Amino acid sequence: MGHLPAIITRTNGLCSLFWLTDQLLLALAGPHTQAGQARPDVPEQCSKQAPGRCVMGTSWWLWALVAVCTGDQFRDEAERIMRGTPVIDGHNDLPWRLLTMFNNQLQSERANLTSLANTHTNIPKLRAGFVGGQFWSAYTPCDTQNKDAVKRTLEQIDVIQRMCQMYPETFVCVTNSAGIRQAFREGRVASLVGVEGGHSIDSSLGVLRTLHRLGMRYLTLTHSCNTPWADNWLVDTGEDKAESQGLSRFGESVVKEMNRLGVIIDLAHVSVATMKAALRLSTAPVIFSHSSAYSLCQHRRNVPDDVLRLVNQTGSLVMVNFYNDYVSCRQEATLSQVADHLDHIKKVAGAGAVGFGGDFDGVSRLPVGLEDVSKYPDLVAELLRRRWTEAEVRGALANNLLRVFEAVEQVSDHTRRPEEEPIPADQLQASCRTMYGYSEAPSLHRQPGALLASLTTVLLGLGLL
């Protein structure tokens, strides 16, 4: 059988393999030599009492060390890969936590990001997790819709930009794929703005364009509420009523304008009808910034297989969410189950369709082994253990997102005329808004009833009725 790899030792955290002679093979096989004489170096109790137990115990110990060492080798390999290709995460809610914990007062001593406690994210954890790019969520809840959603969104974008200003050695705010690559070279975290929820634009193409100028590089079309122009995932559970049957005519204008501007379309949180409508309409790939696979966990926030096949056809991307409820459909989950979702998306949509969107600091329950942002290397090690190639791992870490971002940039065309037609007035909730522009502007799709009422008023005023 030749020499046997047997003893595995730990030296400075690395595993070293030693090759033993055939004498060790004989020792493991039994306490007697081929001549039938007892070996003086084999313990007495092994020779006389339970030779089988001795061999079994040695074998168990050996393979336990092999398993430990192999695990360390995968972890070491993960770190080696991540030093060259750090992770770009699709969704982190630290800015929201800074609002709820400190009312966005970043100069508070307790808000210091180098020592921030009771969060999934701080600077040391980002470093330990080899995070090199982060879409920070500029999130405001659905109860701000038709109220102060735009103001709240601007404040959260401001927080992200102030993070970059206060910690320039760690964060650099960027707005394009080239900026991400430059941040990688500098060893800083490329920080991008993702606006989570279409209600943040208040059904205004002008606001959409303005948020783009302020750095927004993806917009989630809905959060967990319908907008006047797109349906959210709760429609698929029956908790909300479909209003746009996916995307309304104005919703289609939003998608087209995002393509023109170079804003990534994010389909996390939307209904299946909205997913399919956006995937078919968009001329650039789209992302799901923090969603998992519906086939493995039948939660409507996840992506069904027929949509995954559209993701494959369009070169789009699903960045897997770590929230237990979307991973296992239970309160408990494991790192291995997250890897199952990555495996499934790779199988159905292709290796180029997989990314990470942990949803850290936006969820209350995380899998064992993925408790905070420092744990990414452990997940990568698990993918390597499952025989993912280095190229596939680098794709999931960053290259798939960079490919999508570059495609979005190539499709964008700021010389093209922008979308201008406003949303019809009757699709807006007017209780907290003025209606300047609607009364005299042409071609605003006023309904026949509204036109008849206006005509009646004019005729009455002229004394003709």
CB atoms within 10 A of CB 427: 17
pTM of the model as a whole: 0.82
The confidence score (pLDDT) of residue 440 equals 65
First to last CA, the chain: 108
Task: Work out the burial of residue 334: count CB atoms within 10 Å of its CB; fewer than 13 is exposed, 13-18 middle, 19 or more buried.
Answer: middle
Mean pLDDT value of segment 149-166? 98
Q: What percent of the chain has pLDDT over 70?
A: 79
Q: Which two tokens stand for residue 411?
A: 């499709």
Higher pLDDT, residue 442 or 212: 212
Catalytic site includes residue 223? yes
Are 91 and 361 spatial neighbours (Cβ–Cβ below 8 Å)?
Answer: no
- Evaluate whether 253 touches 277 at the Cβ level (below 8 Å): no
Per-residue pLDDT reduced to its tens digit, 2-61: 333 333 333 334 344 333 333 444 444 444 444 344 433 433 333 333 444 343 344 444
Residue range 132-137: mean pLDDT, rounded: 98
pLDDT at residue 271 greater than cutoff 80: yes
Mean pLDDT (whole number) for 200-210: 98
pLDDT confidence tier of residue 76, bands split at 50, 70 and 90: very high
Catalytic residue among 89, 196, 325, 372: 196
| Catalytic member of 120, 199, 269, 344 | 269
Tokens of 396: 């999931």
pLDDT of amino acid 432: 78
Please confirm, yes or no, whether 406 is among the known catalytic residues.
no
Average the pLDDT over 388-395 and give the result.
Answer: 98
Distance CA 73, CA 66 (A): 10
299 is catalytic: no
Please give the residue that has the higher pLDDT: either 51 or 296.
296
pLDDT digits (tens, 9 = 90+) for 297-311: 999 999 999 999 999
CA 248 to chain CA centroid, Å, is 27
Report the pLDDT averaged over residues 353-367: 98
CA angle 443, 444, 449 (to 5 degrees): 105
Let me know if 344 is a catalytic residue: no
Report the C-alpha gap between 428 and 231 in whole angstroms: 15
Residue 236 falls in the annotated catalytic set: no
| pLDDT for 23 | 42
Q: Residue 247 burial (CB < 10 Å; 0-12/13-18/19+)?
A: buried
Q: For residues 393-397, give the mean pLDDT.
A: 98
Q: Is 93 a catalytic residue?
A: yes
Average pLDDT, the chain: 86
What is the distance between the alpha carbons of residues 360 and 346, in angstroms, rounded to a whole number?
A: 22
Phi-psi region of 86 (alpha: psi -120 to 50; beta: other; left: phi over 0): beta
Residue 91 annotated as catalytic: yes
- Mean pLDDT across 173-181: 98
| pLDDT for residue 41 | 40
**Residue 388: is its pLDDT beyond 80?**
yes
Give me the architecture of the 73-411 domain, per CATH. Answer: Alpha-Beta Barrel (3.20)
| 137 closest CA partner among 302, 316, 289, 322 | 289
Mean pLDDT throughout 238-253? 98
Closest CA to 55 of 36, 42, 38: 42
Amino acid letter for position 61: W
Catalytically annotated residue among 89, 93, 231, 325? 93
Give the up-direction half-sphere exposure of residue 243: CA atoms within 13 A in the CB hemisphere.
Answer: 18
Q: According to the model, what pLDDT value does residue 9 have?
A: 35
| Catalytic member of 91, 212, 299, 344 | 91
- Which one from 252, 340, 359, 372 is the annotated catalytic residue? 359
Domain boundaries, the chain: 73-411
